[in-house]
Structure 1
């Protein structure tokens, strides 16, 4: 009996000791701890971890690693309630932490605003629906980063299944989340204040870490950054994130036209013109600047009529686009709206009227290279002398800001094509090369093929051989490029090369007449008249218009 009494006394002492070591605020902290589960695109579990709520409206923090590669994530709170992770609010891959938002109301922990000192008491609070484990720990060391945040180190054996669970102080405030060390037995914790202050920016959509997470980023609270996010999302190759960002923008800025226009553009891309129409009509009703709504509606209709004219939609036409831009101009008469009027006029085929409108605009505050380029297109459609077209393209190029010369790339390309029509082949080659430089070499095989043809006419044969070889390298299965190269090799008396190239052309396209014609001519010039004439006959059989004349020439 005495032994039993001793044991009971020890139990009572232990309970009392734990009670003293665990203030009520620490025990209550368990209500805010959750389990995190992330999933692959196929629905299988990717990873599990934990975290803690830091806001009433679903704001939460955890480690970053479980989100990498995840298409979906859910959290399970202390009551067993599941909530979807809706948005990623910020990440930091150096400290492996993430802030995010879940669906639903949540019970948060306050975040400690001042650092816990070395030697102070803290508690690691685990996740559990019934009986969470609370482990006392002593801060071994505190390191400062970014001049104001704390990185905690604890001497503590890692309790099982507590990754990313919160460390709290005696007031129940979260000071950091648990992160096992990869190099020692210590446990680390990154300052919770640092994690809660993470946020997205206008460039988050293009952030390499964010790209690895299938869950959309949250919209920045700053409107200018939110607008940048909207723009970047439209250019990114992720329709799910794009749709989420557009929806968030409309909800966050219901009187701004940008979100509605972005949503209408999504509908337009999907050929859902009726939904695009309804979206822009909603914009006209809700936005503050009605002129901007009418202007953007006009652009949506214009883009459909110009680029998707083969898909009929009775409610829209160029007259409707003109009607909308006129409404915008009536509310706020500004030159940019007149530019839209001129573009629609051009699209309607009224080229002289459009030309006059574009040139009038060059005398306004929006004088810019595009206006001269637009005017040059009008001149081309009016069959004006090509020197007038080139003069306008000259103006487009010289008007371009030298600090933004890349914007002149399409004007150099257009002028190169204009030079071709005037037999100014060397000038055309120079402009093609300027274009290639301005777009950082981001051109395709057809570009090198076109420039090669200009170089041949300019008698720049060595450059032409390099370009047609590049075209073949970029499109090794296109027989036209082999035929062109073989023809050029024949022209410069490279007979062995011409035979080899033409043979490759025939291997790729046995029914392509050009290959046989060039092979035959190369063989005849090489002295192999028998095989050469046979290949000319084959070219004739396949319908080559020059084959008969060549046969007659070499039959003599």
Structure 2
């Protein structure tokens, strides 16, 4: 009988421990989850806990496990594993993150009133069965960022409880547990208010993880983020941004075009066309939707031709641009039509429109430049083309967008044999543009050699080779110039490097042989000239006769 009494007492003590916390705290356990993050190889990086704060899959937890992660998943209180869809905000300093999963969740209420030192709270751990709640007394409370609370506890807690919520007697989450030598909690309200902006892709913390960042809640901010993300992420990840944008802003034309462009790149033209038609129906700005469709077709034809998808033609692109202009008479839509006409070969029609647009708010150097290209294709006199390029430079100088027009005029003057004037424009371009390509320095070098401007020519061919160190033809040019100005040692070095880059390139051996001939190294010169002859250089034979 005594043994039975002892067993009953033990059961009663266990029951009293289980129900020591209020019922509202017990309910909170259904909102707690574990989070696990993974690297590129699929290996586990770290695990933590967290809590759902609404019924749409929004959650808060610690941020540290996300560092270096390419994917993550949560396991909820029912044991179901769900992948993390996107991060909605993060603060590396306070080690908190907000993210979402694509699932319905049990929301935990966040405390609206702060707890004070001496208050009793409960640590709610993750458990599929019966959580081992731990009661704690708040030792002290400190403020951070003016309004948020940093709770400090005197007792210890298990390390594997990091990220678990602390709840007050009403079952409201006051903070997430951290352990930095002592048990602390970061205000749950701070984690809840985390958000992303259009510039969040530049945020140092969010750049430490490759898990996708959620889009901001305003259209302009979301567009800014997508514009920045376009060059930072893969096409498949960017497509997810497009899907989210369409979901968030179904009446904006932007998302439909971005997703359709992705589908077009994958040659899923029917799907892209269907999506653009849907965008036209749903978009509030119908003119933008039609213009976007025109641009999508235009870009596709430029890069892939019009034979791949018969339904998309330049005529259809023009029709879409015209519809945009009919809805809203913006000069940009006429400009779009003119550009398509140019690609179509309707140069006179394109030229007329470009020139008409110079009398509108769209006036820019680009219009005169495009008009010059149209005139060039119409075989117009050189003077007419030059006048248009002069206008491009003049207008561009006033708008601060002039570099490319100096370059274009320089190239035109070079074609006309006006090398000195071309160099003047190239020098202006060089003083403005950054970065400058090796092709530019090579082009200016060609003009300088025509005018026997040896010193600047040597500098430009050296810059060319520096910027394109694996291009053998540039080193051959350098060796050739060194030969002309009697810099034989430097030329031998350039020709030798040319051969190292391209062992089957005859020019390298020819130039090396000629340079060695000038240095008096007859034996090596004959050897390299013969090699050039073997590689098919017809000039090598004549030079060999002179050496022998």
The answer to whether the superposition gives a TM-score over 0.5 is yes
8 Å CA contact retained: 2:306, 2:312? no
- Is 1:523 paired with 2:516? yes
Task: Name the Cα RMSD after superposition.
Answer: 2.9
Deviations 1:175-231 (A, max 9, x none): 1111111xxx31222111111111111123343433443332222111111222232
Aligned CA distance change for structure 1 residues 75 and 555 (closer, same or farther; 3 Å): closer
Q: How does 1:336-485 map to 2 (within 5 A)?
A: 336-400=332-396, 405=400, 407-432=401-426, 434-435=428-429, 438-441=432-435, 443-485=436-478
- Is 1:191 paired with 2:187? yes
Q: Flag structure 1 segments of 5+ consecutive residues without an equivalent.
A: none
> Partners of 2:133 and 2:432 in 1: how far apart?
62
Alignment match of 1:293 (pick from 289, 311, 319): 289
> Who is 2:149 aligned against?
150
> Who is 1:43 aligned against?
42
> Partners of 1:345 and 1:79 in 2: how far apart?
62
8 Å CA contact retained: 1:216, 1:240? no
- What is the SS of the residue equivalent to 1:161? helix
Q: Flag structure 2 segments of 5+ consecutive residues without an equivalent.
A: none
8 Å CA contact retained: 1:64, 1:93? yes
8 Å CA contact retained: 1:233, 1:245? no
Deviations 1:94-131 (A, max 9, x none): 21211011122111111123332233322211111112
- What is the SS of the residue equivalent to 1:235? coil
> Partners of 2:107 and 2:459 in 1: how far apart?
66
> Partners of 2:47 and 2:10 in 1: how far apart?
38
- What is the SS of the residue equivalent to 1:414? helix
TM-score, normalising length: structure 1: 0.90
> Partners of 2:303 and 2:407 in 1: how far apart?
21
C-alpha deviation, 1:452, in angstroms? 2.9
> Who is 1:510 aligned against?
503
8 Å CA contact retained: 2:63, 2:95? yes
> Who is 1:83 aligned against?
82
Q: How does 1:210-225 map to 2 (within 5 A)?
A: 210-225=206-221
8 Å CA contact retained: 1:51, 1:61? yes
TM-score, normalising length: structure 2: 0.91
- Is 1:126 paired with 2:125? yes
> Who is 2:94 aligned against?
95
8 Å CA contact retained: 1:40, 1:71? yes
> Who is 1:492 aligned against?
485
Deviations 1:122-178 (A, max 9, x none): 221111111212112222232222222122222221324201001112221111111
- What is the SS of the residue equivalent to 2:482? helix
8 Å CA contact retained: 1:452, 1:468? yes
Aligned CA distance change for structure 1 residues 388 and 23 (closer, same or farther; 3 Å): same
C-alpha deviation, 1:540, in angstroms? 4.3
Which stretch shifts more, 129-138 or 517-526?
517-526
> Partners of 1:28 and 1:438 in 2: how far apart?
66
Aligned CA distance change for structure 1 residues 126 and 354 (closer, same or farther; 3 Å): same
> Partners of 1:421 and 1:190 in 2: how far apart?
69
> Who is 1:70 aligned against?
69
Aligned CA distance change for structure 1 residues 33 and 437 (closer, same or farther; 3 Å): farther
Aligned CA distance change for structure 1 residues 494 and 53 (closer, same or farther; 3 Å): same
> Partners of 2:319 and 2:149 in 1: how far apart?
61
Deviations 1:273-332 (A, max 9, x none): 222222212222222333222211111111111221175221122112112222222222
